Amino acid sequence: MTIDELKQYCNGEFQNIERIMTELYSVYSPDKVDYSLAEQASVAAFIVNIYTGCENILKQMLIYDKLDVQDSPEWHEKVLRKSGEIGILPPELHQTFYKYLSFRNYFVYTYIFNIKWDELKTLADEVKGVRDQFSTEVEEYLQTI
């Protein structure tokens, strides 16, 4: 993969993330108080999709840097750990991504009615800022390679 191909890949993923964010905000509004279980499931799925897009970008950047992120049971944690170690993710954003990864793991293995709305709402409220900061960090990192 060339640097131009990596940049093109990242741009494509950010376009996918933006599409999902549009869908998220068609269901979710910080001012809305009452959500049906179906709406909560949609919000949760969109949050997981957004995180997955970010994780895909990180994984491709690490592969480009020839770092081992082969599929294994703990590859998700490995991607975050290595992204922090080599400076793609600054410490604060690194910790924030661990919250989203924890939610992703919980979402995959639980029923939607077990997810606490307050915790999901916090993730939904923060996701735009997280995406914006992540986009900036990716752009800055890509300029260094």
pLDDT tens digits for the chain (145 residues)? 899 999 999 999 999 999 999 999 999 999 998 999 999 999 999 999 999 999 999 999 999 998 887 776 788 999 999 999 999 999 999 999 999 999 999 999 999 999 999 999 999 999 999 999 999 999 999 999 8
* Alpha helices (runs of H) in the chain, residue ranges in sequence order: 3-27, 37-64, 75-85, 91-109, 117-144
Cβ-based neighbours of 142, under 8 Å, separated by 6 or more = 3, 6, 7, 10, 61
In the chain, where the domains are located: 54-145
pTM score, whole prediction: 0.93
